[in-house]
């Protein structure tokens, strides 16, 4: 009887954990990652409060009855790196991302961009997903995100370096062309949840993968 109760409780917590991950948009399998990157209707949960600046409504696309659809965006300063050159750029980030994207719980050492060994399995799943024939012609953007601990500018650079570590793993282990992979550091500017608890901060420390249309080619 006791064993039955313990087993039932364990199953409940596993399922509960899976539901939380699904609600926050995280994936852990190559199949789930592939489908998320290919899905045009997937929407990211609204970002939490994020420092300076408010969300500005802009008109984009068409809504029912011929009305324009208001999408909230905010100007964010990000750090990009392409062919070894770092560039600061101001982008219009949407409150809710749509289209092909997925959040991954890739863990790093504290204040470091060294990937923890327990995340290699997830990176292998990502590599398999990006090797799918349906994604081979897509440009993949790797966005790094942090929690709010530390200085803002430091977090932006840290998030860029973490995105770069993911890119290097994919290039080294899956022979994906580096020209197909772009990296961007967002720092603490786009949290999924308010940075008010350890659990929320862990969710905000993430790597986001976005699939863009373009001529992406893998190395032979």
What's the mean pLDDT in 133-147?
A: 94
Orientation of helix 152-174 relative to helix 120-130, angle to 10°: 60
**Is residue 33 predicted with pLDDT exceeding 50?**
yes
CB atoms within 10 A of CB 174: 17
The helix (run of H) or strand (run of E) holding residue 87 is strand 85-94
Distance set, CA 103 to CA 56, 100, 209 (Å): 24, 11, 6
Residue 213 has a pLDDT of 81
Q: Which range (11-20, 21-30, 143-152, 195-204) has the least confidence?
A: 11-20
Residue that wins the pLDDT comparison between 207 and 12: 207
Higher pLDDT residue, 83 or 88? Answer: 88
Contact indicator for 36, 102 with CB cutoff of 8 Å: yes
CATH architecture for segment(s) 2-213: 2-Layer Sandwich (3.30)
**Token pair of 70 as six digits:** 């208001």
Q: What is the mean pLDDT of residues 122-141?
A: 95
Q: Global pTM? A: 0.79
Token look-up 């939490």 returns 48
More confident residue, 75 or 10: 75
pLDDT in tens, 177-214: 999 999 999 999 999 999 999 999 988 999 999 999 86
The mean predicted confidence, pLDDT, of the chain is 81
Buried (b) or exposed (e) across 132-162, using 16+ Cβ within 10 A? beebeebebbbbbbbbbeeeeeebbbbbbbb
Task: Round to whole Å and give the CA distance between 165 and 171.
Answer: 10
CA–chain centroid gap for 132, Å, is 19
Domain segments of the chain as ranges: 2-213
Q: How does residue 13 score in pLDDT terms, banded at 50, 70 and 90?
A: very low
């Amino acid at each position: 009887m006791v064993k039955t109760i313990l087993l039932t409780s364990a199953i409940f917590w596993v399922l509960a954990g899976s539901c939380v991950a699904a609600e926050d948009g995280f994936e852990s399998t190559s199949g789930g990652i592939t489908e998320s990157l290919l899905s045009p209707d997937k929407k990211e949960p609204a970002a939490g409060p994020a420092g300076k600046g408010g969300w500005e409504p802009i008109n984009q696309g068409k809504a029912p009855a011929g009305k324009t659809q208001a999408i909230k965006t905010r100007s964010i300063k990000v750090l990009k790196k392409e062919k070894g050159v770092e560039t600061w750029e101001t982008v219009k980030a949407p409150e809710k991302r749509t289209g092909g994207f997925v959040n991954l719980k890739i863990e790093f050492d504290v204040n470091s961009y060294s990937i923890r060994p327990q995340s290699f399995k997830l990176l292998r799943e990502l590599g398999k997903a990006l090797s799918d024939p349906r994604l081979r012609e897509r440009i993949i953007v790797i966005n790094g995100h942090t929690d709010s601990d530390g200085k803002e500018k430091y977090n932006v650079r840290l998030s860029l370096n973490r995105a770069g570590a993911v890119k290097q793993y994919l290039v080294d282990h899956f022979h994906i062309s580096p020209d197909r992979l772009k990296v961007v550091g967002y720092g603490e500017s786009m949290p999924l949840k308010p940075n008010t608890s350890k659990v929320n901060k862990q969710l905000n420390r993430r790597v986001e993968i976005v699939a863009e249309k373009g001529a992406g080619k893998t190395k032979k």
